[in-house]
Amino acid sequence: MTFEEMGVSPEIQKAIQELGFEKPMPVQEKIIPILLDRNTDIVGLAQTGTGKTAAFGIPIVQQSDVRVKKPQVVILSPTRELCVQISKDLKSYAKYVDGLQILAVYGGASIQPQLAALNDGVQVIVATPGRLLDLIKRKAAKLSSVYRVVLDEADEMLNMGFLDEINEILESIPADRNTLLFSATMPAEIKKIAATYMRNPEEVVIGTRNASAENVKHIVYTVHAKDKYLALKRIADFYPKVYGIVFCRTRIETQEIADKLIQDGYNADSLHGDLSQPVRDSVMQKFRLRNVQLLVATDVAARGLDVNDLTHVIHYSLPDDPEVYTHRSGRTGRIGKAGISIAITHLREKHSIGRIESSINIKFEKARIPTGREICEKQLFNLIDKMENVEIDNTEIDTYLPVIYKKLDWLSKEELIKRFVSLEFNRFLDYYRDADELNEPVEDRKSRRAGRGDDDFGVRGRKMKDFDGKSEQGYTRIFISLGKIDGLVPAALIEHINNNVSGTKVPVGRIDLMSKFSFFEVKSEYAEQVIGSLKGSRFRGNKVDVQRAQGKDAMKSGKSDKGGKSEKGEKSFSKKPDRWSEKPKRRPRR
């Protein structure tokens, strides 16, 4: 079926042909004829990147009455980024439709231009729930003429806590409206909205219900927990043309990983809730232009991002909810293209992988972290490919060639090629020449299960066993009943100390993070003050216990209010808490 056969107007056909639309995608083929033929409610189950914006957007553009300068359609989306993207898409479909006004309204931007546009008259409002509700309460957005409401990525909106706002907005729109609900998954809350606000909706399913995109390959790498960052770098190096999102669990972890990648020479940046809107916009603009190859983001910040052609999604931290994994992996493999979703895990996350596989009906391919030799080979051939495909501006370079030929005429063809390759490639050879094996060997797993670790903390090949119970001179070592399962990272620990110790900034030295408890060092003159201030304090709802550490035995049997037995140390930080104590050689800049 063609767009013409579906009844799409010539003006819109012309616009979408210029956008590269050749034939309808499955979701468009199913939904557009329904909306152009009859006024019915629809529940569409489809992943991001399946073409659903055009599926509901083309009928909206065609059916809006430009003579009526009142809102006729409301489209709700979870994030400002997606709100802006939908608005841009609809405007592109309406390129040859005179008089159609489409307005994006969202928080984080000045409300005055939005108020002015509503006053001038618009037919279509694309909005985030919070800002639209604000405009309704100001009586600026008058929705009495709305005949159609679209809830795009409805499950994302619910995950972000917009249920109350959605209910209020729907109650302010005429009951005889047409409601379209699009979602990648169908949790109970979505079913409840459909039952409350929709009338006998037609269900359109693209692909498999609650399943990940079919053209996404799922790979899992298992390493020691302390080696996850080094594994991330190797993965990035193994895919020289990577263009993707690295998902982290917390804002602090997101910023730390982004900072480390930038410091190590990668084209990376961060996206999380602590960034201002202008900074978010700047980061996203650089990412869309591919000036940033790796966007390190939290789930909340990345919700609703509409960026095409991502090659990879990398899960630096696995989500607790398998449906979140569906949304993450759906950022790649869009519009029929292939994509790769990579999970970097450690042994204790094996059950999480199994839960994701069974919940969303996928199978992870178990892979080994690339060796230094494999990475060098991949980078070498990428370099040769770039050389073969480079564009040559003869008018600019020809004037320099005689001097260059004379300068290099003593070199043979073979020697010239060797030197050219070495000039660019020696950096990778040097960096990976003595690189350690990161994959967790089978024999190490067996020794863990048997309780026979290679050192005092079951962490193979690391130097924490060399800790002799003595703090650095002038420092006192302190036990704290918080660990990584509480979301503790060095920056959060330092912040917690400074928030509770009034009147001074405490110098913090070595930090050793375990799973259920940790150790840190402070200048000795501050030790009693820190212990007194932190004891009984609360960190993310957990009551904190602190005491002086009692030497080497404390590392193995530190008492805490979380269970008594020692956990295996996984991260070790040097005096500067933002650096790994095992400092890998800096990666060569690209």
Q: Are 292 and 283 in contact (CB under 8 A)?
A: yes
378 and 358 in a common domain: no
227 and 178 in a common domain: no
Which one has a higher pLDDT value, 104 or 209?
Answer: 104
> What is residue 151's predicted lDDT score, i.e. its pLDDT?
94
Return the CATH number at 52: 3.40.50.300
Helix (H), strand (E) at residue 11: helix 10-18
Q: Are 221 and 345 in contact (CB under 8 A)?
A: yes
Q: Is residue 64 part of a domain?
A: yes
pTM of the model: 0.57
Q: What is d(CA 469, CA 489) in angstroms, rounded to the nearest whole number?
A: 22
Residue 539, phi then psi, degrees to nearest 5: -120, 110
Q: Is residue 4 part of a domain?
A: no
362 and 472 in a common domain: no
352: pLDDT strictly greater than 70: yes
First to last CA, the chain: 47
The full 3-state SS of 491-502, as one line of letters, equals HHHHHHHHHHCC
End-of-domain residue from the set 352, 371, 390: 371
End-of-domain residue from the set 346, 371, 396: 371
Residue 298, phi then psi, degrees to nearest 5: -85, 165
447: pLDDT strictly greater than 80: no
Mean pLDDT calculated for residue range 55-73: 95
Q: Is residue 86 part of a domain?
A: yes
Residue 74 burial (10 A CB sphere; 0-12, 13-18, 19+): buried
Q: Is residue 386 part of a domain?
A: yes
> What is residue 208's predicted lDDT score, i.e. its pLDDT?
52
> What is residue 213's predicted lDDT score, i.e. its pLDDT?
57
Mean pLDDT calculated for residue range 403-408: 88
119 and 78 in a common domain: yes
Specify the number of domains making up the chain.
Answer: 4
Mean pLDDT of the chain: 81
387 and 243 in a common domain: no
Residue 514, phi then psi, degrees to nearest 5: -105, -175
Mean pLDDT calculated for residue range 201-216: 69
> What is residue 120's predicted lDDT score, i.e. its pLDDT?
93
Among left, alpha and beta (phi > 0; psi -120 to 50; other), residue 177 is beta
Helix (H), strand (E) at residue 253: helix 251-263
Q: What is d(CA 80, CA 62) in angstroms, rounded to the nearest whole number?
A: 25
346 and 220 in a common domain: yes
476 and 346 in a common domain: no
92: pLDDT strictly greater than 50: yes
Q: What is d(CA 590, CA 584) in angstroms, rounded to the nearest whole number?
A: 17
553 and 417 in a common domain: no
What would the two tokens of residue 48 be? 């991001």
140 and 41 in a common domain: yes
Q: What is d(CA 416, CA 409) in angstroms, rounded to the nearest whole number?
A: 10
401 and 481 in a common domain: no
Q: What is d(CA 259, CA 247) in angstroms, rounded to the nearest whole number?
A: 14
Q: In terms of residue numbers, what domain contains 420?
A: 374-432
Coil/strand/helix, residue 270: strand
Q: Are 245 and 227 in contact (CB under 8 A)?
A: no
Mean pLDDT calculated for residue range 464-484: 72
> What is residue 463's predicted lDDT score, i.e. its pLDDT?
37
376: pLDDT strictly greater than 90: no
pLDDT in tens, 479-519: 999 888 887 888 788 878 888 887 777 888 888 888 888 99
CA distance to 241, 243, 306, per residue, from 309 (Å): 12, 8, 10
Q: Is residue 441 part of a domain?
A: no
